[in-house]
Amino acid sequence: MSDTLTDAALFRSLRLSAGLTQAQVGAEIGLHVTMINRYEKGRAPIPKAVLIALECVARHRTGSADTGHESETPANIILPTSDSIL
């Protein structure tokens, strides 16, 4: 359970550092805002792929990507659903 809380704190910290709302993060990575809220409250384990997606979005939004500057358009990263990988 402590890993879930640690991941929750990391998730929230990344989101806030990028200046994003829970709804914006959900839209960027293809998840409902309710799931984002559950992750941040430690009520659901955060899949590694979701943390990676958030890190990519946060890097893109803060301009710390390899290019060294912030792009005008967001990354819009969509994660596969369980239906798409069956």
Question: DSSP string spanning 5-42?
Answer: HHHHHHHHHHHHHTT--HHHHHHHHT--HHHHHHHHTT
Q: Is the pLDDT of residue 45 over 90?
A: yes
**pLDDT exceeds 50 at position 4:** yes
Number of Cβ within a 10 Å radius of residue 15: 22
Given a contact cutoff of 8 angstroms between Cβ atoms, the answer to whether 28 and 21 are in contact is no
The stretch 11-18 carries a mean pLDDT of: 93
pLDDT of amino acid 76: 53
CA gap 75, 77 in Å, rounded: 6
Please state the domain extents for the chain: 2-62
Give the pLDDT band of residue 2 (cuts 50, 70, 90). Answer: low
Report the CATH fold assignment for 2-62.
Answer: 434 Repressor (Amino-terminal Domain) (1.10.260)
pLDDT of residue 21: 97
